Amino acid sequence: GQQLNQSPQSMFIQEGEDVSMNCTSSSIFNTWLWYKQDPGEGPVLLIALYKAGELTSNGRLTAQFGITRKDSFLNISASIPSDVGIYFCAGQNFGNEKLTFGTGTRLTIIP
Amino acid sequence: EADIYQTPRYLVIGTGKKITLECSQTMGHDKMYWYQQDPGMELHLIHYSYGVNSTEKGDLSSESTVSRIRTEHFPLTLESARPSHTSQYLCASSDYRGGGETQYFGPGTRLLVL
């Protein structure tokens, strides 16, 4: 089946730093989604990407749908304490209602 | 903002008990999903539904069952809970927008089976 490799697995940064994480797939997707999950909560949708090459921003977050349809990245600028959590990418194909999730990137902010 | 609700949020129960995890959404979405997730790990799809009277098994084998009698309601049942069922259970629903489907998640139910 499809696999999503998400990297890095974890990040330790200082407040104010920029963050970059990415997902790569062994096959193509038609939709890429980025979620953030706080401990004990459900994932919250951050950005949805529907077209290859699409670059979308949501406040300090920017995500891009790779031209090859096999990758996506998420950038966070000027990180703040509430950015702490686990970030998941997810890919989906047309006609396949199932999402394939990445393994997550755990973001920690060092005081 | 997604209007999808799960109850209970936390449940501690003994082995052998029957439990039902509730999920409801007020967005009129046809498609709904159940995922199982261990802490800090990836999500695994265990059930999904295209709409009323439709239920399908997901990628991860699960001893739970689901039903979809109403569009807004997608409960998950474990007939006899076991410690191996301890996990977080996440419900989601999806809509079609911008050329693709987007899933929205509930807050989850954390289940501990003793």
Which residue of A30, A98, A101 is in closest CB contact with B42? A101
> Cis peptide before A8, with omega less than 30 degrees from 0?
yes
Residues 6+ apart with CB under 8 A from B80: B15, B16, B17, B18
Asked whether residue A15 carries a pLDDT value surpassing 60, the answer given is yes
Q: Is A47 on the interface with B (CB under 8 A)?
A: no
Tokens of A30: 């038609």
Q: Is B84 helix (H, G, I), strand (E, B) or coil?
A: helix
Cβ atoms of residues A43 and B90 within 8 Å: yes
Which has more pLDDT, A59 or B96?
A59
Which tens digits make up the pLDDT trace of B59-86?
A: 888 899 999 999 999 999 999 999 999 9
Closest CA to A44 of A55, A31, A58: A58
Of A41, A45, A51, the CB nearest to B102: A45
Q: How far is A102 from chain B (nearest CA, A)?
A: 7
- Write the pLDDT tens digit of every residue in A50-96: 999 999 999 999 999 999 999 999 999 999 999 999 999 999 887 77
The answer, for A106 touching chain B at a CB cutoff of 8 Å, is yes
pLDDT tens digits, B15-55:
999 999 999 999 999 999 999 999 888 899 999 999 999 99
Nearest to B40 among A42, A99, A106 (CB): A106
Amino acid of residue A22: N
Q: Are B105 and A44 in contact (CB under 8 A)?
A: yes
8 Å CB contact between B8 and B109: yes
Reported confidence tier of residue B101, pLDDT bands at 50, 70, 90: confident
- Contacts for A35-38 with beta carbons within 8 Å, 24 or more apart? A35/A87, A35/A88, A35/A89, A35/A90, A35/B105, A36/A85, A36/A86, A36/A87, A36/A88, A37/A85, A37/A86, A37/A87, A37/A88, A37/A104, A38/A85
Over residues A28-55, the mean pLDDT reads 93
Residue B114 has pLDDT above 60, yes or no: yes
